[in-house]
Chain A
Amino acid sequence: MTNTGKDTEDTLRPLKNGFSALLPKVNLRQLKGRIFTILSYLSAILIVVVLLFILGTITIKALPSLNLHFIFTSESNQPGLGGAIGNAVAGTILLSVFSTILATPVAVGTAIYLKRYANNGPAVKTFRFLIDVLSGTPSIVLGIFGFLVFVYYLKSITGGFSLISGSIALAILILPVIERASEEAINNVDTDIEAGSYALGATKWDTIKNITIPSALSGIVTGIVLGTGRAAEESAVVIFTAGYTQFNPEFKVAASDKLLFGIKIYPFQDLVASLPLTVYNAYNYPHLVSSSEAFAAAFVLIVIVLIINAFTRILVWKRRIG
């Protein structure tokens, strides 16, 4: 009996010793945890502070230049560059809208084909990889591609630096954005409802038209709007394809012996300004465009992109509750 008691004591002793030996170690472990917890909080705080600093600085520096006259008047009404951004606001809207119009049917059509018609074989997998490559393309590479093909080789059709060159190049940029979002939206469609549609004798096209597209619509529209935002903020593509002009876009047809059929269709074959390049001008020609004007143009550009992004958020949110 005594033996067993001694045994228990013996087995407990190292545990006791071990425990007390562990005590400072536990503190060290907790200390380590605390340090990294603090680091995590600091990182998050740092990012929020940086963001508020960026947006705050831009807003404060923009305020002196920011007024309705500045936003809606064309630069051509002011001496030299700068002074107003109406032409760039109009140009940015034209470029992003036209590129979206060009890209959307092709992108959505491709997504429907890949998700509902194609089999998921190696060819389709390779194709998806290529679309990923296209979506990760550095924009400058797309920019010089557009420069050489649309502005240089096809000058007689596109008019060189023009709205049409810029829109086509931007359409290629946003095509994969819209395509991927549409594929994902179609992926989320409830296949039971589609099966129900087929069971009722509906054809494939009937099902796609009446079930698949309506169910995926908010997701597809989210992708389209995302693409529009991408097009609006892009600068490296626009600088080599759309050019820049101090004048507002015009709507007219004029004779031109340099172009095919001898006519020039405004605004499509004409130069077009854009806000990102207005901002860039302040870097390139600081004596012409003041820094306050650059920040005002940046402010308007951010607001436009934010409105577009807010629109997508509302769509996503609606989809979640509806």
Chain B
Amino acid sequence: MNNMTLSRSESSAPKYLFTFCTLLTAFITFFFIGFIFYIAYPTFESQGVINFITGSVWNYDEHVYGIRIYLLGTLILTVVTLALSVPVGLFTAIFLSEFASPRVASIVKPLIELLVGIPSVVYGIFGFLVLGPIFVNYVSPLTVSLLGFIPFFSSGVGVLGMSLALAATVLAIMILPTIISISEDSIRSVESTYREASFSLGATHWETISKVLLPAASRGILAAVVLGMMRAMGETMAVVMLFGSANNIPTTFFGTGTALTSKILSDVSFKIANEEARSAIFAVAAVLFAIEILFVGLARAIGGRND
């Protein structure tokens, strides 16, 4: 359509209007991304990027800023979240695309989409007030008594239930819809000839799924996992409410920690007028943002939008 030449005289006002909208979007995007890195820059300059990322001391009075604890907190939380949600999500996607009758799928899918409609702060308060006590009274004692011989499960949960386990469980529920819907779509879009060829060679249904369908859909599934991972890393409110705010790296399943997002949330209000402290907090945001940009690129490269 774009290269169609027009003989009739045309008002160019609409074109200018749409161009203006696009330039405004571009301006907002560039200004936003640039602003974060611009405010963060003095910290990267004074601390050094490597020191900022690997340093384990964050002290406003001593002007030392290192985010190792928070960065590892975010990474560990994300890994545990994925470990909890990817298997369940993948099996559910297989169920919906392979085993469920259209009737069952038409009931289960809207229910899973309901999970998307629950705001993250509601997940947070639900985890804090409902799951917290359950973790304290049942999940933690049971896990420690069964798996206590493994160091990772050796110590129980604190009084309020705030822990890596609790935060990861709630985050896992939050990102399940993303993982399920994209994985299901990509399993469904595997060409039916693949499936028929596999059956005709005598493979069972499960062999067809695990050896033909899943490998064929692996790019889509990987993209789904990356998108879910981005959501988990960027989540703030639920993490603040459930991960605790301990200034250490979580070393056990029921330990507490601080994520990058919770560090930003807890500090920024008090430090906004202090130029140096403000820059340090924006540097945390810049690191988070840089990770996110990396993942957006990754998701696009492995099978995101094809336009």
Contact = CB atoms under 8 A, between A and B. Distances in A.
B295 interface: yes
B22 interface: yes
Interface string A180-207: 0001000100010011001001011100
A130 B297 CA distance: 10
Secondary structure of the B side of the interface?
helix
A7 B306 CA distance: 59
Contacts of B285: 138, 140-141, 144
Interface stretch (B53-61, B217-225, B230-238, B247-255): B230-238
A54 B121 contact: no
Contact of A106 (B15, B21, B87, B126): B21
Interface stretch (A37-45, A69-77, A78-86, A244-252): A37-45
A57 interface: yes
Interface string A44-56: 1011101100110
B295 A136 contact: yes
B265 A145 contact: no
Contacts of A61: 129-130
Interface string B172-183: 010010001000
Contact of B204 (A29, A43, A141, A229): A29
Contacts of A179: 25
Interface size class of chain A, counting residues whose CB lies under 8 Å from the partner chain: 35 or more
Interface in A131-155: 131-134, 136-145, 147-149, 152
**Highest count of chain A CB atoms <10 Å: which of B18, B19, B95:** B18
Contacts of A133: 29, 33, 292-293, 296
A273 interface: no
Interface string B5-17: 0101011001101
A204 B3 CA distance: 11
Given A117-B15, A240-B268, A233 B278 contact: no
Contact of B21 (A37, A109, A120, A236): A109
B168 interface: no
Secondary structure of the A side of the interface?
helix
Nearest to B241: A283
Interface stretch (B43-51, B107-115, B150-158): B107-115
Interface stretch (A13-21, A261-269, A294-302): A294-302
A113 interface: yes
A58 interface: yes
Contacts of A305: 117-119
Given A37-B99, A61-B130, A235-B120, 8 more contacts: A36-B206, A50-B173, A112-B21, A138-B236, A145-B35, A204-B6, A204-B10, A233-B119
